[in-house]
Structure formats: C-alpha cells, structure tokens
Structure 1
Amino acid sequence: MQITIHDFSGVYSGQKFMQTLRESTKALWLDGTGIAGIDCYCDDEAVAAIREQIANAGIKNAEGIHFIDGGNYHYMSKIWTDMVQEPFTLVVFDHHPDMQPPRFGDILSCGGWVKKVLDENKFTDNVIIIGVADHLVDEICAEIASHPTGARNDNVFFIRESEIASIQTGSLPTVHSTLPLYISIDKDALAPAFAATNWDQGSLSLDQMKAIITEIAKDHRIIGVDICGERARDIEDSRADALNSELNRELAEFLLEIL
C-alpha cells in the first residue's frame, strides 16, 4: 500500500517517524513548500500545481495512505477524492464540520472542503463526519435549514462529540450501503493526550478511532485514507513533534494492516 507525504510547511522535519519514511523506499515525499497560495485557502493555480505534482509522481488514483500536513491543508482531501471514479462514502474524523463557504469567491479552503466535495463530486454518495463539537453541529444544521436549496446537505450525517462513546464498539448507523469508503482523519478530533494540533481539539481517544475504523472496514472496502492535523508550523515544540510522530507511526501501522 502506497504512502504519500505532502510536505507543505516543513513541520514533518521534527518527526522521527516521518523522516524515517522519507529516507526509506516505503513512501513518496512530495515537497510542496515552494507552492504559493496554499495556507488555509488553495487558489486555482496552487490546485493545478499540486495535481501536477501528484501526476508527475506516477499516482493515478486515490488509493493508499496520504499524510497531508497540518489542518490548514485539509482541503487536500478534496483534491484526493476528486480522483475517485466510483460511488463512495466519505467518512471524516474532525472536530469541525468543514462546511463553511469561503469568505470570498469560490476558493477551496480548509474550512469548506466538505461542502465543495458535496457540491462538485458526483461520485460522493454521502458524508459522515465523526467527532464534531456539538455546538458546531447545531450551527451548521441551522445554516443548512436556512438554505434548503444549497448543497446536497441531505447526504451529510454528523456523529457529535458527545455521541462517540455510544458508537465506538458498534457499526455506524449511517454507513448503510456496500459502497467503498474514503476516510479523512483530522487529528484535532482526538484529545490533546494523543495529538498536538493547530486547532481546538475534541475528546476522541486513539483506541476509539481505531475501533470505529475497524468496525466499518469489516464490511466496506477502503479506497484510501488521508491524515492531517500537525502542530502549528511557526511554534517549535519538541514535545508536540514527538507526540505526533508516535501517533503517525501508530496510524500508519494500523491502517496498513486493514487496508
């Protein structure tokens, strides 16, 4: 199973596991530090540059494990799922719904990429977002209700942060079809004991996340997985780097076993 690493901010330089991957033949390392227009928002020129970089690496589909840097680059999930050419369910672990429209134009953003997937990807059957802060679910549901003719919002299902404990050992009620899954993990869904991110975090444990993924993988093919949620790049923090390095190692080893 191919591992691809998108290095946009240089944050992986402090992680022992990621550097080990870089030095091995087990991963493709794509250096995006020289691409302009990519922090939080990704303009059209940057999208084209990233897609060209992926194509030049010989990647033709969304299969595999993709490390996509910090939460500011979660829009990479939109770029990867654009490569899926069959009906699928998108499963997202995130403390935020990522369904906000951009503040200007129709630009791709880390806070609105899920909405873009729903609006533009005809193969997306439904979206399940797990671990979202309860108050953010209330806010986005109220916004959806006020714009009933907007995106395909009837295909979005939220599992609130407060509901996690009740579903950790059982199947997700909204994964009801036999369609394959694409899984996107923002580590800010996890409690601070498990990850150090650049956004406010939830209370999910790593064991809970693994249990949910294991359960849904029993009956569904997983097309690919991406992982974001590194620490803020402008704050040197060896403790955070060590914590995230270990988490990335555990996630990679776990996912390689089930994919």
Structure 2
Amino acid sequence: MPIVTIQDFTGVYAEQPFMQGLRELAASNGDIHWLDCTKIEGTDCYCDDEAQDALNKMMDEAVATATNTSATSTPGIHFFDNGNYHYMSMLWTDRVQEPFDLVVFDHHPDMQPPRFEGILSCGGWIKEVLDHNKFVQNVIVTGVADHLVEEIREDLSQASAAEILNRVTFIRESELSAVTLEGFSPDRVHLTSHSTPVYISIDKDALSTAEAATNWDQGSLTFEQLAKTLKVLAENRKILGIDICGERARDMGFEDTAAADALNNALNEKLFHLLTELHGIQ
C-alpha cells in the first residue's frame, strides 16, 4: 500500500464517514497520515512563506514516520481539502527528484501570473512549478473550460511569460466527449507512449456536478473518463504521486449540504480504492 496523507485545512472531512474511517486507521497504520492543518494561518487560496514552512515541516515528519520504507522515495497519495489548497501539489512535487510530466485534471488552468510577487496561490501554482521546478518536463491539463484557455494565453502574453506555454498541453472541456467517442481516454493516449514518469494532480471541479460538489464552478468530466485515463497512465508510466482536492467549502451554502457531503464521500471512497489499485500496477 502506498503512503496516504490527508491534510485537513477546514474540517470538511468530518462530514464524510469514509474519510473519518481513514482518520481512525491513521492511529494504528503508519502508512496513513492525518495532518491537522486547521491552525496554520495564511493558507486559504494564498500560502505565505511561514505557512509553507509549517506545512513542509509537518509533511516531512509524516513521511519520516512511515512504516513502508520502500514507499518513502515517492510522495504517495494525498487528499488536501477544497480547491483553495490546490497549491499543495507544488509542495508535494517539490519532493520529486527525477524528471517528470505533470498531469492535472482541473476546470481551471491554475497558471495565473501572481498578483502578489512571491506568494503561492491556488490559481497560479502550475506556473510556479513550471518556473521553478527543474525536474518538470511537460504539463497536461485536462478538462479546462474553453474560454479560460484563451484567457490564460492572453494573460501570460501580457506578463511576458508566454514561452512557458510551449511546455503545456490543454485538453479543453469541449474535447472530452469527442476523444472519448473516438475510443480514446481524455488524456490523448499518445501522450503516454514514452517513459517519463508522471505526477498526477486532481481537482474534482473538473468533474460534473453529478459526480462531486465543490467550491468552484465545475466541468463535465465523468468518473468513468477519469478512471479510464488514470488506468492508461498507470499501465504506461511510472506514477510518482497522486493528489486529490476539491471538497466543498464549509462556509459555502448548498441547498442540501448532507447530499453534497454524501456525494463527495462516495467519490473519495471510489478514488481511494482506484488509486491504491493503480499503485499495484507499478
């Protein structure tokens, strides 16, 4: 079993029985870690330097206590709350020490130039990875809203950063049905034909509202499409780590909060079993 880390920033996992079951297992299973991040300030949407230091220290301590020592060379599987904390994927990929491709499922490009210089954000973390991680080779972002692809191209051009787009492939939301109907999974299978390892980061807002309830506008990806793509990647590439975010925000009103939590609970359980299964393919 891979090392599994759950980082709880808002307390939302308290509403999900499956995740609470993992929390109970963490007390006796050294390969499951529950990290209470609720008291770390400076983390919501933006992550300042002090918060990064606190998070990195907590993550290092968790990995150091893992009983599955053969798994400590790779970051494992991580759940980290809602999409406001998607920047955690940058902190986890910073631990990778070999060339890799970053495969992201997200309804947003997460490549905005920073509003505040030097501040890591949920909306710009992919750009930070491209700018500063010497091991990342290419980035594939699947499920992005079509209009946001054009907007980010314009934003990066105005910020004199358009050259990083040469290393990015966007698979737009409008393309998902077409490539599936042609018998291909949404990652364009040809992208998996070489040997570069991959790191996978999933924001559940790429999925339709029938699959998940998140705190951002959502796309139309189905769980079936996502699962098929992940299986193809696992069969063709070495997977270095997998991240999952996209819970609902606790202060965000849903007409039926209990139904939203039940939907996310079921999805997290399916993802957990799928991802641990994929780990066995490696």
Distance 1:144 1:58 in 2: 36
Distance 1:165 1:118 in 2: 29
Q: What corresponds to 1:252 in structure 2?
A: 272
For residues 136-151 of structure 1, the aligned pairs below 5 Å read 136-147=148-159, 149=161
CA distance change for structure 1 residues 254 and 22 in 2, over 3 Å: closer, same or farther? Answer: same
1:104 to 116, 119, 136: 116
Contact residue 119 and residue 151 of structure 1 kept, 8 A: no
Contact residue 113 and residue 156 of structure 2 kept, 8 A: no
1:239 to 229, 253, 259: 259
CA distance change for structure 1 residues 199 and 61 in 2, over 3 Å: closer, same or farther? Answer: farther
For residues 1-259 of structure 1, the aligned pairs below 5 Å read 1-24=2-25, 25=29, 27-59=32-64, 61-147=73-159, 149=161, 152-168=164-180, 169-170=183-184, 171-235=188-252, 237-259=257-279
Compute the displacement of 1:151 (Å).
Answer: 5.7
Contact residue 40 and residue 54 of structure 2 kept, 8 A: yes
Q: State the number of aligned residues.
A: 259
Cα deviation, 1:177-208, whole Å, max 9, x if unaligned, reads 31111000000000000000000000011001
Cα deviation, 1:130-152, whole Å, max 9, x if unaligned, reads 00000001111233344555563
SS at match of 1:246: helix
TM-score of the two chains, using structure 1 as the length reference = 0.95
Distance 1:11 1:82 in 2: 26
CA distance change for structure 1 residues 14 and 102 in 2, over 3 Å: closer, same or farther? Answer: same
Compute the displacement of 1:21 (Å).
Answer: 0.6
Cα deviation, 1:214-236, whole Å, max 9, x if unaligned, reads 11221101111000000011147
AA partner of residue 250 (structure 1): K
Distance 1:67 1:11 in 2: 12
SS at match of 1:58: helix
Contact residue 90 and residue 184 of structure 1 kept, 8 A: yes
Compute the displacement of 1:176 (Å).
Answer: 4.7
The farther-off stretch of 233-242 and 89-98 is 233-242
SS at match of 2:102: strand
AA partner of residue 218 (structure 2): Q
AA partner of residue 87 (structure 2): Y
AA partner of residue 197 (structure 1): T
Compute the displacement of 1:64 (Å).
Answer: 1.3
AA partner of residue 152 (structure 2): I
The farther-off stretch of 145-154 and 193-202 is 145-154
Distance 1:76 1:99 in 2: 14
Compute the displacement of 1:105 (Å).
Answer: 1.7
AA partner of residue 11 (structure 1): V
Contact residue 78 and residue 242 of structure 2 kept, 8 A: yes
Contact residue 97 and residue 129 of structure 1 kept, 8 A: yes
Distance 1:62 1:69 in 2: 21
Distance 2:170 2:38 in 1: 34
Contact residue 62 and residue 80 of structure 1 kept, 8 A: no
AA partner of residue 80 (structure 2): I
Distance 1:90 1:98 in 2: 13
SS at match of 1:227: strand
Distance 1:221 1:76 in 2: 21
Contact residue 115 and residue 151 of structure 1 kept, 8 A: no
